[in-house]
Chains A and B, each alone.
Chain A
Amino acid sequence: MSTPRIVRVASGQGFWGDWLEAPRRQVTGGPVDYLMLDYLAEVTMSILQKQKERDPTLGYARDFLGAVESVLPAITDRGVRVVANAGGVNPQACAAAVRGLATDHGASAGVRIGVVLGDDLLPRLDALLAAGHPLANMETGEPLASVRDRVLSANAYLGSTPIVEALTRGANIVITGRSTDTALTMAPLRHEFGWAADDYDRLAAGIVAGHIIECGAQCSGGNCLYDWRDIPDLGEVGYPIVEVAADGTFVVTKHPHTGGRVSTQSVAEQLVYEMGDPHSYITPDVIADFTTIRLAADGADRVRVHGIKGRPATDSLKVSVAYRAGYKAVGTLVYAWPDAVEKAQAADRVLRERLDRLGLHFDRVLTEFVGAGATHGALAGPPSPDLPEVQLRIGVRGSSRRDVERFTREIAPLVLNGPPSVTGFAGGRPKVEEVVAYWPALIDKRVVQPTVEMQ
């Protein structure tokens, strides 16, 4: 009797900026079939859009090139296939750069790139609005028209179907733009097991597997509060792998001889991360019910996941719109014992008085005392009068770049003309940042038609 077939999907990046070592370690530490790399957070698309405006060959997650380079032998010699949403707002440029890289390494013949297109709604935005798609803000109900002239990017979250198509057509590197994070794990499973579009429970299992590993090591010991002191060797933390069976049950694990820990607790912490209504985890592929998930310890660093139920997806896709929303800057200074908090409070008063006198206009001014309740507020209780130091952190946001710029010049003077025992200003003047805000919306699925281009 043969053992049931298992497909191994490894997670190698949980966001753009994650550990550069992880992809290579995932393909060299033990057997894996697929490597999924998640690069896109809510605001990443707008950053990439700005890069593309400056240079039409950019607009994708450039870290991806280093990742591909580090795993190229596994792709060409051992058949590991890579699925990544690294394409950002320019998947074709990303594909061209990967092709160039493979050519430089004499490996081009072994690389078949599938590019998923169709998520980018920016070129169609006015036509969509004119055709009666309001793209209203999901949180406020406001129609997109109110910020239309400030829109930088607009992308629909695509599900797993176009990635499955790319894999079926033989791609061993699939590059997408704004796919859902979970689709990157789901697609290899659908491709391997042929799960039908109405096999809701298995599709939901694929979504849960994707959710567990989409944040990289955050399910395998990283950022894990449970028993954190005794989680071994985070310096060599193992990134997660799901070993999935055709029936949709799976085991979360990591390679042997790596640090971190996979336990029911580490997995459960990740399951509740960024959770909304657990009964309805909505994706373009299926709605997964997180209240049906069963976890069971299955040996060292192994957690079995089963019991997951799903139901049909909605008729909509989520759209992420990024728009320009003014400017902001944050300045900091450090005040030392004695009376560190009192001095920082006094400096805050002086600074605010000066900002008022200058007649600067801001939508928001926020002061925090880091070390004295910045993250827990009043819940932390009154700060000890004996604190060795506290950081004054003051931020402003507004529509006038000039006013925000002026604010950044009011921090340093406090060192010589404000309250005493102040330090920590070596970083110089704070930078003015353009604020690119996020506008979540829904759109009728039928008007978004993803396509796949093989290169």
Chain B
Amino acid sequence: MLKHIKSATLAGAMALVAGAAFAQDYPSKPIEVIVGYSAGGGTDVMARTAAPFIEKYLGDGASLVVKNMPGASGQIGVTEAANADADGYTLGTFNLPGMMARTIDREAAYDRDSFTYLANVVNDPNVIVTTKGGGLDSIDKLVEEAKANPGAVTVGMSSLGGDDHFMLIKLQELTGAEFTIVPFKGSAPARTALMGGHVAMGILNISEVAEFQEELNVLGVATEERSDFAPDLPTFQEQGYDLINGSMRGFIAPAGLPEDVQAKLLDAFAQLETDEEFLAAMKATANPVEVVTGDEFKTLTSDLYDLAKGVWEATPWN
């Protein structure tokens, strides 16, 4: 009996020691980062660019291994990350508003409470562009035309339920104008159609049009302040339209991480914001950076979820 108690105590003590040791040693083995897209895509580039910096800030020879699990617009990867062991050895990439919209427009094996929110790293703001020679070369003219002939302005964008779509909905709610949505398979074909003049207007992201300013009219950027990416482009707020929207990419872990592991990770991610080398590397890969960590990131996600949910209830897109 005594022997049993003794061994139980011993086991308990060992568990305690092990627990403490666990947090102190973290990370004691490679950390896997699940990317829901193919190698070479925007999200993958972000993960691979950030990885060495996170390794640096975690210290102790930490190593991050990027694992691509592409498919279903990132849903396969994010589901895997949401349902992984919450030990800090599996992280995942996270895209907004897509990941939240997928919990609304289809069945998803995760929801907004399934994650520990580490950091949003990229915010690629939306821009509104029009075709050259179409005459709609300012946001005022565009809105006027769309109000005068409801539905006559065709809008090329990538798929429904993404950031482009929510941007258009914000514009419609703000101005009361009405547009006809033409959802292409991704933004590259949408941009090509714009350049060929097959749609009148397009909603894209700033990184996608930065090099196309000669072929397209960029009417404005949906940020609070002018983007470092194209400082000569005015924001919508400057022009009297309160439009802020973009495509966001960041990092999450499964919900319920041990507290000290979470703290260590948050600390590492927070330091990205001020790392000049990291910022330069991101700029070189056409990724506008805006670091938002922890609870703020969680609130951001929740707000986007509420927006998407509201839109879905008013005008479901499928």
A binds B: no
Contact surface of B with A, Cβ cutoff 8 Å: none
A residues near B (Cβ < 8 Å) are: none
